Each structure stands twice: as C-alpha cells, then as structure tokens.
Amino acid sequence: MDVAAGRADYDTSGLGPGRRTRIRHCHILWRVVRSVAPIVATFIFAILYFCIMTGAGMLDPIIDRILHMAGASPTRIVLATAVLALLVHLDGSGPPSW
C-alpha cells in the first residue's frame, strides 16, 4: 500500500490485481520477451536452415564419406557414430534439449 498517497496496489473490490500491478506485470513480461527473442530467432533460423540443407541432400556426401571411412572396425564405428550424431544434430534438433 502506498501510504503517502493513500492508495493500494491492489483492487479492493476483489476482482483481481489493480491497474498499477497489471501495468507492472506487463513491463516484466515485456522485458522477458525482449531478452528471449534473439535466442528464439536464432533457433528458428538454425532449424529451418539445416532442415532445408538435409532435405536437399547437401549433407549426404559427408555422411556417406564418414560411413565409408568407418569400415568394419568397432572403434572406428563408435567414432563415426559420434561424428554422424554431431552432424545430424546440426539440423536443429539440439535447441529443444537446452
């Protein structure tokens, strides 16, 4: 309660928060949206870009080369799987796991 002005920060009718409290909440919400928006835009761009690249087959030669280099060696297969997983996650499936 603002004692000096004799006003409360809440609506005394019981219908919810007063105008000043709602305005304060809007400012807080707007600050959060502004701080998160660049990150969201970057994730959307990465997902769209790498989905288009994968769909167009641009990464297929790299994946084929990695699998060919792995051969039949178990150690190479594990390393190739790790590299292949790294490349596959470039399509944007990583951001939701953050």
Q: For the segment 37-64, what is each residue's pLDDT rounded down to a tens digit?
A: 988 888 888 888 878 888 898 878 877 8
pTM of the full structure: 0.49
- Output the pLDDT for position 16: 57
- Output the pLDDT for position 9: 52
For the stretch 80-89, pLDDT in tens is: 888 878 877 7
For the stretch 2-21, pLDDT in tens is: 445 555 555 455 555 666 77
- Output the pLDDT for position 2: 47
Across the chain, what does the average pLDDT equal?
76
Three-state secondary-structure class, residue 17: strand
Residue keyed to tokens 């002005």:
5
Q: How does 47-63 read in b/e, with b if 16+ C-beta sit within 10 Å?
A: beebeeebeeeebeeeb
8 vs 14: CA distance, rounded Å: 12
- Output the pLDDT for position 95: 57
